[in-house]
């Protein structure tokens, strides 16, 4: 472990801030260069710089070191921008920036510079990139949360990029509702976690593992944090937002909704595996939900006719696969670095490897689908076919990506798929957490899901590219995409093949450091992992052969059995459940709101005062605060009596007069008599203020006088009057008791030291003024701000009413 100082310290912060700062410059660039140069060429620089900069850290991280940097933000609250670069963060960082480069190149050709609002698109994209980098680099749990929500927001904005379409808006809304719901749950979990561990740093939490696992909040924390991870990574049953998110432009789908953002949940689970790993709840939730998602996603993908929807469900399914691997890998923490532990640690390695591979092949497939959409004008499988001759490059890329997704050699997906089969086979022998009986489910479900994965991969490749070309169903001549558009997907496809042949190079520099970052009990030099394509005639290989045979059979007969899947009733789908419950929630909350937001000021006053009485009188009673002590009180003389009598008479007059003018005058009398108290008790400042305020308010009253309706007595029923009586008497009593009691308590150190020494401390002989401008200057500053805002509010209200009246007249 090594801490680096100096200029390198700042570069990590710079990486995160650059996209945000650049996002602010985009409107300027747009203005300067708009129709001449596609904005994407400028934006391309940013991920490129970040990618190259991150490459520099590979040697450092491959040695098992890490980099920490800290920037004080709110040191008094321990909220600092602590960033932490280890193997896992570096792998994600490289994926984010590397995919960013390719996606931006792709978007330059995909999005027309004449029709689209490119400045908005790239601003959101930069915001996302900065947030995602911040998310994977943060060590402070709440900073991480902030970036987490920022990715949700930027994803929302990008999905709704074509906001004229209703489906885009709906998809964006759905994704925001679900991911932010999960995010808030996660926030609650994080707060509990900080309460348990008494730290905001994830690394320090890992050091307090025993403490966390023994705590009574352990299970609620796990559930809350996993809700965040599962909603973000589209795990069953929260997966419904991801197909909706496909309304976004294809570069966004390729980038956010397959390669990076949806992997944030995976990242979180991996990051917290050292904290929660080894417990049965964590294992069952993560691997159970993962394997269900895998199965659900793969079966649902088969019945899709929209290519992007197919890819969306396939992403859901693959995310489930990675999630279940992380769950199985968490068993390592149960067994420790023993022989068993090493076996299960391979699941973690497989998870990282598959995550890496998935970004490659899924990214390339999304780009190909985007190209098909761009060139043919449709993504519907039923209208496509026979594109092989017309689009040979796209076909090659789709073939490589699709076969890799199906888990066939010689592509990288084969390697990680074999490791996945090995991991699910190993689960059976764990003999803990009821795995001796239930463990059989893992290989079985995984095998079935893999068959369907094979089928949908074949559908994707062969239904679009082979078969008969149907010109009549397309509205245009189809030809290959421009060179720049398929370059990014070709690069990705190239990596898909290269990784198969040289997996150990990537393993040494990228995957192993990430592996060690998740499993701190292993050190990088002791880990000996060799990935090899050929590993003998073992169970895994037989399973793969079974998948290919079964999958081919099913693919050939696909027309016969897919209609059966489509029989599934529409009203039973998760989507329907979501929409129905959303509708219900909206309706009920509207009913409830309408019930108390009546628009009557009287009602609002009743709420305000009742709340006031309940809180104040309640706490006075509960804390035994009522106490009268008259020993230190001043002697009451005859003037005071007279004044009190006068105030009472004036107040009663306000109540019982039938003339509004009299009421206003009586109210001023109350005010002026209170001024007299200040005079008697020698508070000239207060007396002066009270007097002027009283004068001005009287004038105000007179002005408003014209608008008020004639004062009507005896309106309303007895019930109405009784409510008013109870509320007002209760409020008055509370205030009286509070004032008398506060005089009898001495709870805090007296602060009279300041007042006695006002001249030395503030150079003021008038302590009232010293309090206002010096000792409590902050209060005064905020008070005048509030005053100013209130004034503007009155101004606006008066204007609005005038506008309203004009409007009425016009009608």
Footprint of other proteins (CB under 8 A): 684-685, 688-689, 692-693, 695-696, 699-700, 703-704, 706-707, 762-766, 768-770, 772-774, 777-778, 780-781, 784-785, 787-788, 790-792, 794-795, 798-799, 801-802, 805
Shortest Å distance, C-beta 762 to other proteins: 7
Shortest Å distance, C-beta 325 to other proteins: 52
Residue 432's alpha-carbon distances to 139, 332, 340, 695, 773, in angstroms, are 33, 12, 12, 81, 69
Residue closer to other proteins (CB basis): 8 or 801: 801
Residue closer to other proteins (CB basis): 640 or 774: 774
Residue 728's alpha-carbon distances to 277, 644, 673, in angstroms, are 58, 20, 22
Residue closer to other proteins (CB basis): 574 or 773: 773
Cβ–Cβ under 8 Å, residues 25 and 46: no
Shortest Å distance, C-beta 692 to other proteins: 4
d(CA 113, CA 35) in angstroms, rounded, equals: 7
**Which one-letter DSSP state was computed for residue 160?**
G
Shortest Å distance, C-beta 693 to other proteins: 6
Shortest Å distance, C-beta 622 to other proteins: 36
Shortest Å distance, C-beta 670 to other proteins: 19
Cβ–Cβ under 8 Å, residues 307 and 381: yes
d(CA 808, CA 804) in angstroms, rounded, equals: 6
Question: Burial, 774: exposed, middle or buried (Cβ in 10 Å; 0-12, 13-18, 19+)?
Answer: middle
List of residues 6+ apart from 12 with CB closer than 8 A? 67, 69, 83, 85, 137
Shortest Å distance, C-beta 755 to other proteins: 14
List of residues 6+ apart from 780 with CB closer than 8 A? 772, 773
Shortest Å distance, C-beta 768 to other proteins: 7
Residue 649's alpha-carbon distances to 97, 524, 653, 659, 666, in angstroms, are 77, 87, 6, 16, 9
Residue closer to other proteins (CB basis): 75 or 763: 763
Shortest Å distance, C-beta 691 to other proteins: 9
Element (H, E) at 651: helix 638-656
Shortest Å distance, C-beta 688 to other proteins: 5
Shortest Å distance, C-beta 701 to other proteins: 10
Residue closer to other proteins (CB basis): 711 or 782: 782
Residue closer to other proteins (CB basis): 526 or 799: 799
What is the number of other CB atoms lying within 10 angstroms of the CB of residue 354? 23
Instruction: Reduce the secondary structure of 303-367 to three states and give it as a string.
Output: CCCEHHHHHHHHHHHHHHHHHHHHHHHCCHHHHCCCHHHHHHHHHHHHHHHHHHHHHHHHHHHHH
Residue closer to other proteins (CB basis): 729 or 794: 794
d(CA 518, CA 202) in angstroms, rounded, equals: 12
Coil, strand or helix at 550? helix
Shortest Å distance, C-beta 72 to other proteins: 16
Cβ–Cβ under 8 Å, residues 270 and 330: no
Instruction: Reduce the secondary structure of 451-504 to three states and give it as a string.
Output: HHHHHHHHHHHHHHHCCCCCHHHCCCCCCCCCHHHHHHHHHHHHHHHHHHHCHH
Residue closer to other proteins (CB basis): 195 or 802: 802
Residue closer to other proteins (CB basis): 170 or 685: 685
Shortest Å distance, C-beta 604 to other proteins: 21
Residue closer to other proteins (CB basis): 31 or 682: 682
Rounded to the nearest 10 degrees, how much is the dihedral formed by the CA atoms of 341, 343, 344, 350?
A: 140
Of 283, 616, 620, 623, nearest to 435 (Cα)?
283
The stretches of 241-306 forming alpha helices (DSSP H) are: 241-244, 250-254, 264-276, 280-302
Instruction: Reduce the secondary structure of 108-152 to three states and give it as a string.
Output: HHHCCCCCCCHHHHHHHHHHHHHHHHHHHHECEHHHHHHHHHHHH
Residue closer to other proteins (CB basis): 208 or 780: 780
Report the DSSP beta bridge partners of residue 70: 82
Shortest Å distance, C-beta 805 to other proteins: 7
d(CA 357, CA 95) in angstroms, rounded, equals: 11
Residue closer to other proteins (CB basis): 483 or 705: 705
List of residues 6+ apart from 495 with CB closer than 8 A? 360, 412
Residue closer to other proteins (CB basis): 432 or 764: 764
Shortest Å distance, C-beta 789 to other proteins: 9
Chain center to CA of 277: 24
Residue closer to other proteins (CB basis): 80 or 780: 780
d(CA 73, CA 607) in angstroms, rounded, equals: 40
Shortest Å distance, C-beta 681 to other proteins: 14
- Backbone phi, psi, residue 201, to 5°: -90, 130
Coil, strand or helix at 83? strand
d(CA 432, CA 434) in angstroms, rounded, equals: 5
Shortest Å distance, C-beta 807 to other proteins: 13
d(CA 783, CA 437) in angstroms, rounded, equals: 68
Shortest Å distance, C-beta 743 to other proteins: 25
d(CA 544, CA 421) in angstroms, rounded, equals: 9
């Amino acid at each position: 472990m090594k801490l680096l100082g100096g200029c390198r310290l700042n570069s990590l912060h710079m990486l995160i801030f650059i996209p945000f700062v650049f996002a602010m410059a985009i409107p300027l660039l747009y203005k300067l260069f708009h129709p001449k140069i596609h904005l994407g060429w400028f934006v391309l620089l940013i991920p490129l710089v970040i990618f190259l900069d991150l490459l520099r850290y590979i040697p450092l991280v491959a040695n098992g070191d890490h980099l920490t940097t800290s920037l004080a933000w709110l040191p008094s609250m321990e909220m600092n921008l602590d960033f932490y670069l280890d193997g896992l963060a570096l792998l994600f960082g490289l994926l984010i920036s590397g995919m960013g480069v390719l996606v931006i190149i792709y978007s330059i050709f995909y999005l027309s510079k004449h029709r689209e609002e490119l400045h908005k698109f790239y601003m959101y994209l930069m915001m996302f990139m900065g947030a995602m980098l911040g998310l994977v680099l943060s060590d402070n749990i709440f900073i991480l949360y902030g970036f987490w929500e920022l990715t949700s927001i930027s994803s929302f904005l990008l999905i709704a990029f074509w906001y004229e379409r209703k489906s885009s808006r709906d998809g964006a809304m759905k994704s925001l509702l679900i991911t932010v719901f999960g995010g808030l749950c996660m926030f609650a979990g994080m707060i509990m976690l900080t309460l348990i561990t008494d730290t905001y740093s994830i690394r320090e939490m890992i050091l307090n593992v025993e403490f966390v696992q023994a705590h009574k909040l352990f299970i609620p924390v796990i559930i809350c944090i996993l809700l965040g991870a599962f909603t973000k990574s589209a795990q069953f049953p929260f997966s419904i937002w991801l197909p909706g998110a496909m309304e976004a432009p294809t570069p966004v789908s390729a980038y956010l909704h397959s390669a990076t953002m949806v992997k944030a949940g995976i990242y979180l689970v991996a990051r917290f595996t050292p904290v929660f790993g080894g417990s049965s709840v964590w294992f069952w939730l993560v691997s159970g939900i993962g394997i269900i998602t895998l199965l659900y996603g793969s079966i649902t993908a088969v019945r899709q006719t929209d290519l992007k929807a197919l890819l969306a469900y396939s992403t859901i399914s693959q995310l489930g696969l990675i999630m279940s691997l992380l769950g199985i890998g968490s068993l390592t923490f149960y067994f420790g670095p023993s022989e068993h532990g090493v076996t299960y640690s391979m699941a973690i390695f497989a998870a990282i490897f598959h995550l890496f591979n998935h970004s490659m092949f899924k990214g390339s497939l999304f780009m190909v689908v985007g190209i098909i959409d761009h060139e043919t004008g449709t993504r519907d499988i039923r209208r496509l076919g026979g594109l092989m001759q017309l689009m040979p490059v796209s076909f090659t890329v789709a073939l490589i990506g699709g076969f890799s997704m199906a888990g066939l050699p010689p592509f990288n997906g084969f390697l990680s798929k074999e490791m996945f089969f090995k991991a699910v086979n190993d689960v059976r022998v764990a003999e803990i957490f009821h795995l001796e009986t239930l463990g059989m489910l893992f290989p079985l479900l995984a095998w079935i899901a893999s068959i369907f994965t094979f089928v949908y991969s074949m559908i994707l490749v062969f239904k679009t590219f082979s078969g008969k070309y149907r010109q009549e169903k397309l509205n245009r001549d189809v030809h290959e995409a421009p060179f720049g558009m398929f370059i990014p997907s070709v690069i990705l496809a190239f990596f898909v093949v290269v990784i198969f042949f040289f997996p150990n190079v990537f393993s040494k520099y990228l995957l192993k450091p990430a592996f060690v970052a998740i499993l701190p009990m292993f050190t990088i030099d002791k880990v000996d992992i060799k990935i090899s394509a050929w590993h003998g005639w073992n169970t895994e290989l037989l399973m793969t052969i079974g998948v290919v045979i079964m999958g081919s059979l099913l693919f050939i007969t696909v027309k016969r059995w897919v209609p059966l899947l489509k029989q599934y009733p529409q009203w039973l789908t998760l989507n329907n459940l979501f929409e129905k419950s959303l509708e219900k929630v909206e309706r009920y909350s509207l009913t409830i709101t309408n019930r108390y937001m009546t628009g009557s000021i009287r009602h609002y006053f009743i709420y305000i005062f009742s709340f006031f009485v309940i809180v104040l009188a309640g706490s006075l009673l509960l804390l035994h605060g009522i106490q009268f002590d008259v020993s230190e009180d001043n002697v009451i003389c005859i003037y005071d009596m007279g004044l009190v009598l006068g105030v009472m008479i004036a107040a009663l007059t306000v109540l019982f007069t039938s003339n509004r003018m009299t009421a206003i005058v009586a109210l001023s009398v109350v005010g002026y008599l209170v001024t007299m108290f200040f005079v008697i008790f020698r508070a000239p400042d207060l007396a002066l203020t009270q007097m002027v305020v009283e004068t001005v308010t009287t004038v105000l009253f007179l002005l408003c006088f014209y608008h008020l309706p004639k004062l009507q007595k005896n309106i309303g029923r007895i019930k109405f009057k009784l409510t008013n009586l109870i509320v007002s008497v209760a409020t008055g009593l509370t205030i009286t008791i509070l004032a008398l009691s506060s005089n009898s308590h001495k709870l805090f150190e007296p602060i009279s030291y300041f007042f006695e020494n006002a001249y030395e401390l503030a150079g003021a002989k008038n302590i009232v003024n010293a309090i206002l401008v010096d000792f409590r200057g902050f209060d005064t500053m905020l008070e005048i701000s509030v005053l100013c805002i209130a004034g503007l509010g009155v101004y606006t209200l008066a204007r609005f009413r005038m506008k309203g009246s004009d409007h009425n007249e016009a009608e």
